Homo-oligomer: A and B are copies of this chain.
């Protein structure tokens, strides 16, 4: 370590004083624009009756692990001076579910929270991913089904207007749709689970193979994979009512009940799944033509809060502030 304390020559400082890959300094011009985004979102959320919650960066690993059904997100872990495992939060929703369950234990009415917090994710080298992601979002606890879903989609629409992203759209689906489609085709549980995993990774060729191995005829494989890749307006849900079952009917009712301006942002995506396993109903992603990946998203997670000891329905979303900023820079900002 002694060597590291030696001052560098000024000429080499740029190389030697480095930051971990995937992290960066934000200088004043950009910081001002990021603040403007966060301020606009905060005003939107506060105007809708949401109140800010701030949770610690470091929490016990075994507490955060309760929020995870399948594999945990990759995370930074360390042992504190008392031998306990701590983790830098890799997600903002799980800590807020914890707050709802423990600090508002037994509370009857709806809870409306917003946050602006950084989440931390280890990054593979050379992939251009961010280690520290500034997320701003809301969580609505205690309002079930279409009523809560519509409120959140409305807040998303107002947020996009507030930050001037007129070209952004919402890809909207339901976490149960892909399973309904697969089960409707008569495939077994193992194939459903494997195909769901492949869908999360966007591996449609792998899904075709799995369905073929499960005994589906070629045209039936094409039909199922075609459905999972289908995007379009809300009329899709009526056209495929049989294959989409109850989740399709609920999603249709939710979208039909949106204000016309909000509905105009919606693109139905029958195969939409999100990386996190806690979603139980509505799922959506915010997309923008200037970006190759979503700038945010969210959904319903009715089974998460109960893991912290106080069952209640929940729905929410978050935007990645750096991605919003990039979308604004590429056009579409008012």
Q: Give the distance to chain B from A5, nearest Cβ to Cβ, in Å.
A: 6
Chain copies in complex: 2
A264 contacts partner chain B, Cβ-Cβ < 8 Å? no
Say which residue of B18, B53, B60, B125 sits within 8 Å of A20 (CB atoms).
B60
Q: Which of A1, A19, A29, A34 has the most CB of B within 10 A?
A: A19
> Would you call the interface of chain A mostly helix, strand, loop, or mixed?
mixed
Map CB proximity to B onto A89-114 as digits: 1 under 8 Å, 0 otherwise. Answer: 00000010011011101100000010
Report the bound CA distance from A307 to B60 in whole Å. 36
Cβ-closest chain B residue relative to A101 = B13
Report how many residues on chain A are interfacial, defined by Cβ distance under 8 Å.
Answer: 71
A320 contacts partner chain B, Cβ-Cβ < 8 Å? no
Task: Find chain B residues with CB under 8 A from A275 CB.
Answer: none
Q: Which of A14, A32, A84 has the most CB of B within 10 A?
A: A14
Cβ-closest chain B residue relative to A46 = B32
A141 contacts partner chain B, Cβ-Cβ < 8 Å? no
Task: Find chain B residues with CB under 8 A from A13 CB.
Answer: 101-102, 105, 308-310
Task: Find chain B residues with CB under 8 A from A88 CB.
Answer: 57, 88
A183 contacts partner chain B, Cβ-Cβ < 8 Å? no
- Are A103 and B27 interface neighbours, CB within 8 A? yes
A31 contacts partner chain B, Cβ-Cβ < 8 Å? yes
A292 contacts partner chain B, Cβ-Cβ < 8 Å? no
Q: Which of A17, A51, A86 has the most CB of B within 10 A?
A: A17
Cβ-closest chain B residue relative to A310 = B10
- Are B60 and A19 interface neighbours, CB within 8 A? yes
Map CB proximity to B onto A16-60 as digits: 1 under 8 Å, 0 otherwise. Answer: 111110011111110110110000000000000001111111111
A9 contacts partner chain B, Cβ-Cβ < 8 Å? yes
Q: Give the distance to chain B from A283, nearest Cβ to Cβ, in Å.
A: 23
- The 5 A-B residue pairs with the shortest CB-CB distance in the complex, in nearest-first order: A13-B309, A28-B51, A4-B62, A23-B56, A31-B52
10 new A-B contacts at CB < 8 Å, known A4-B66, A25-B99, A58-B132? A4-B62, A7-B306, A7-B307, A10-B311, A19-B56, A19-B60, A19-B63, A20-B84, A23-B59, A25-B95
Report the bound CA distance from A29 to B80 in whole Å. 31
Q: Give the distance to chain B from A250, nearest Cβ to Cβ, in Å.
A: 26
| A interface residues, Cβ below 8 angstroms from B | 1, 4-5, 7-10, 12-14, 16-20, 23-29, 31-32, 34-35, 51-60, 62-63, 65-66, 76-78, 80-82, 84, 86, 88, 95, 98-99, 101-103, 105-106, 113, 118, 120, 122, 124-125, 131-132, 306-311
Task: Find chain B residues with CB under 8 A from A52 CB.
Answer: 26, 28, 31-32, 35
- Are B102 and A17 interface neighbours, CB within 8 A? yes
- Are B25 and A53 interface neighbours, CB within 8 A? yes
Cβ-closest chain B residue relative to A68 = B5
- Between A and B, 5 residue pairs with Cβ closer than 8 Å are A1-B65, A20-B59, A28-B52, A34-B54, A58-B131
Task: Find chain B residues with CB under 8 A from A124 CB.
Answer: 81
Q: Give the distance to chain B from A64, nearest Cβ to Cβ, in Å.
A: 10
- Are B309 and A55 interface neighbours, CB within 8 A? no
- Are B57 and A31 interface neighbours, CB within 8 A? no
Report the bound CA distance from A118 to B117 in whole Å. 11
Report the bound CA distance from A28 to B46 in whole Å. 10
